[in-house]
Amino acid sequence: MVFQTGLQGVGALRFGQGQSEGVVVRGHDIFVSYSRDDRSAAERISARLENEGFSVWWDAAIHSGETFDEVIEQQLRAARAAVILWSPRSVASRWVRAEATLADRRGILCPVIIEPCDLPIMFELTHTTDLSSWDGDRNAAIWQRLIGDIRHLVSPPADTRPAPARPSRGFLLADDPPAAPAYRADPRREPIAPAPEPLAAHIPSIPKQPTAAEPLPGSETEQTAFYTPADAERRMHGSEIHCLEIGPEEAPLVRHPIGLLGAKIGRAAPADIILSDKRISRRHCKIDLTAGELVVTDLQSTNGTFIDGQQIDEPTVLAAGSELQLGDIVLTHRVRAFADLD
């Protein structure tokens, strides 16, 4: 169906069951964000989502005497998924943009287009379901994909994935294993020999500064050696640097330089490179810089990691010019002169 908006006389509705009057229930499956002018479409979509078995909250459930903005923020922070209904009117709404931003930060964003429009620029790279021409058929492929995406957010698989062997970009712990992992060589290149000495040998030693309270034994802050951007610049100045870029080579839209300590990529912190796409896992993959090559390791992501269209199942070289695809986002490996990054 093409959603008709701006209908008048829609009564306040409350979705979800087992709720007593006057009580704000937190922790609904879905929070629906929309423009007031799209209330009719929001009502219909909320009803259909409830028919799929979800508990749904939207601001029609606010009771008399409750503070409007406080209740909305509480419900958004407690929801497991946030369905943002984009239309020309909601795109212009500061409230809807703010709610979408908070949902994106929490990793629960599930945007839906209900009427053709230009999305806010910060959400252009986010996978969005287009329901602008949906006829209301719950068996339609586009609707079932949306329901599948929501179920993935509402009931994510148990995260039993092992922690990466290499440290996060920016610091090293004293007990980090020095050996680089084995990886599959790119068939287009000669096999790469392992680094002759552990990475830790290249990290400048910084004396531990005394503090008033020493960290507990075994804590994450114990014996931490920090590697600063200034150290990296001194080591890399005048040389080439590996970058993951989105967009054309001449003028990429986004550029992520990869330093000596590599990077972790995911949908949310503590990833070093955060990509806003719900098909990307929170801890999706990691990039290691080994013997002058980028090596990609999938961290048991839900939807897989692809290099030049081929899914990888073990550490694999990402050659210069090759494409790394995570969800709907494609990053190209390009080698740039360090001086050109200013």
Q: How confident is the model at residue 83 (pLDDT cuts 50, 70, 90)?
A: very high
User: What mean pLDDT comes out for the span 314-328?
Assistant: 94
123 or 2, which is more confident?
123
pLDDT confidence tier of residue 204, bands split at 50, 70 and 90: low
Q: How confident is the model at residue 194 (pLDDT cuts 50, 70, 90)?
A: low
Note whether 312 and 305 are within 8 A (CB). yes
Query: Burial letters for 65-89: b for 16+ Cβ neighbours within 10 Å, e otherwise?
Result: eeeeeebbeebbeebbbbbbbbbeb
Residue 82 has pLDDT above 90, yes or no: yes
- Report whether pLDDT(184) > 70: no
What is the average pLDDT across 184-189?
50
- Over residues 130-170, the pLDDT tens digits come to 999 998 899 999 999 999 999 999 886 554 444 444 444 44
> What pLDDT score was predicted for residue 260?
83
Percent of the chain's residues with pLDDT above 90 = 40
Q: CA geometry: angle at 142 spanning 106 and 97, to 5°? A: 35
The predicted-structure confidence for 216-260, as pLDDT tens digits, reads as follows 444 444 444 444 444 444 454 447 889 999 988 888 888 899 888
Mean pLDDT estimate for the chain:
74
| Cis amide leading into 270 (omega within 30) | yes
Identify any residues that bridge with 18 across adjacent strands, giving them in sequence order. Answer: none
14-23, 118-127, 206-215: which is most confident: 118-127
Average pLDDT of span 115-142: 90
Among 233, 157, 192, 176, which residue's Cα sits nearest to residue 317? 192
CA torsion angle for 60, 61, 65, 69 (degrees, to 10)? Answer: -70
Rounded-to-integer distance, Cα 6 and Cα 243, Å: 47
Alpha-carbon distance of 204 to 6, in angstroms, equals 63
Indicate if the pLDDT at residue 103 is higher than 70. yes
How far out from the chain centre does Cα 322 lie?
22
Whether residue 188 is predicted with pLDDT greater than 80 in this model: the reply is no
As a whole number of Å, the CA-based R_g of the chain is 24
Is 238-337 a CATH 3.40.50.10800 domain?
no
Q: Is the pLDDT of residue 295 over 90?
A: yes
Contacts of 226 (CB under 8 A, 6+ apart): 170, 171, 206
Domain range summary for the chain, segments of one domain joined by +: 30-154, 238-337
Q: Which amino acid is located at 308 in the chain? A: D
- Going by DSSP bridges, is the β-strand pair 129-130/305-307 parallel, antiparallel, or unpaired? unpaired
Average pLDDT on 292-317 reads: 93
* Domain formed by 30-154, architecture: 3-Layer(aba) Sandwich (3.40)
- Place 88 in a pLDDT band, splitting at 50, 70 and 90: very high
SS3 content of the chain, % helix, strand, coil (to 5): 25, 25, 55
Q: What is the pLDDT of residue 259?
A: 84
pLDDT of the residue at 27: 73
Question: Tens digits of per-residue pLDDT, 3-30?
Answer: 433 322 222 333 333 333 334 345 789 9
